[in-house]
Structure 1
């Protein structure tokens, strides 16, 4: 009975989330948050105009409510000896992530989730406390931003599609080369 009730609650929550999703729109660059200066470093956006729900690495994506995501270009990564890398792949990449909250309300990045496909295979997210800080979990006030890095073990570093889901109310966005 518990499994059935839990499944019903999950299905209802997903259905509600689908009905209340915040649409997104592509932008050339995300605005800076009040706790960070204007953009610099590897997550500099390119001057492309992605389709709705699709962007390229190195560009930004902004949802209609003002939440923005910038993903840098994937770069080669060397995991520390204590990292969890999965066991399937021997190519490792790292991606800079920048989230800016201009929604007008606090936003919690703690449930943001990313998956990656490489050469038609699911990549493995690398957990490396020796080299990579944890994903941020502190709620971002309006106008604030957070930056971190994600790493993945992949089949082919030249063939990557990353799906980023900010939370239950925002639509996912796909980043590719």
Structure 2
């Protein structure tokens, strides 16, 4: 074999060796690393513990007691007698008389009657007489009170313990008769219990 043939063989062998090395290094550099398999998200469920029923009984609702809703009592007396309540307050209503109202009287009728009311404060403290509520009726029904300048005004000054006051009240009648007349007196005070209704009749 001559020198030219040896040189040719040597060149071809070198070329093949370089090609093989170049091919292996290029694959390692350019190829990305294998991707890991995608992860799967697994939802979690929160476990809420059940509440155990309480063994304590639930208290029942009770309506508050209102002393003023109690059915009021009644005390009946004849005209001229005195009714005294438990705290010492006392009232008296005189027998009715026919009344001739003034020209400008309001509430007057063809026949009218007048009464005298006496209030005595037998309690241990002052009493406001404006808290005394009066109503009247006869056989024909409720009566309308007469307001007349000829009659003195109702007392408006608080009454001291042990003191008394008297004033007059008049009503228009449903008929010409003083029989069957009734006067109801109801005291009121925020600082005391419910008063019984005082009823005066003939």
Identify which of 187, 190, 193 aligns with 1:166: 187
Q: Which residue of 1 aligns with 2:128?
A: 108
**Alignment pair present for 1:155 and 2:174:** yes
Give per-residue Cα distances to partners, 1:45-85, cap 9 Å, x unaligned. xxxxxxx6101111111001110101111011000001112
Cα 1:146–1:18 shift into 2, 3 Å: farther
| Structure 2 residue 143 is matched with structure 1 residue 123 | yes
- How many Å apart are 1:172 and its aligned residue? 1.2
In structure 2, distance between residues paired with 1:158 and 1:81: 26
2:77 is aligned to 55
Q: Give CA deviations for 1:138-159 in whole Å, capped at 9, x if unaligned.
A: 1101011111000000114222
Match 2:113 to one of 74, 79, 93: 93
Q: Where does the alignment leave 5 or more consecutive residues of structure 2 unmatched? A: 1-63
After TM superposition, give the deviation of residue 111 of structure 1 in Å: 2.1
| Residue equivalent to 1:49 | none
Whichever structure has more strand as a proportion of its residues is: 1
Larger radius of gyration: 2
C-alpha displacement at 1:99, in angstroms?
0.3
Distance 1:81 1:16 in 2: 45
What's the CA shift for 1:120? 3.7
Deviation at 1:161, TM superposition (A): 1.2
Q: CA deviation at 1:18?
A: 4.7
Q: What are the superposed Cα offsets for residues 71-118 of structure 1, whole Å, 9 maximum, x if unpaired? A: 1110110000011125xx421000011000011111111121111111
1:146 aligns with 2:197: no
Any stretches of 5+ residues in structure 1 without a counterpart? 1-11, 24-51
The CA RMSD over aligned residues, in Å, is 2.0
Q: Decide which structure has greater helix share.
A: 2
The number of residues matched between the two structures is 131
TM-score (norm 2): 0.60
Higher RCO (CA-CA < 8 Å; seq separation 6+): 1
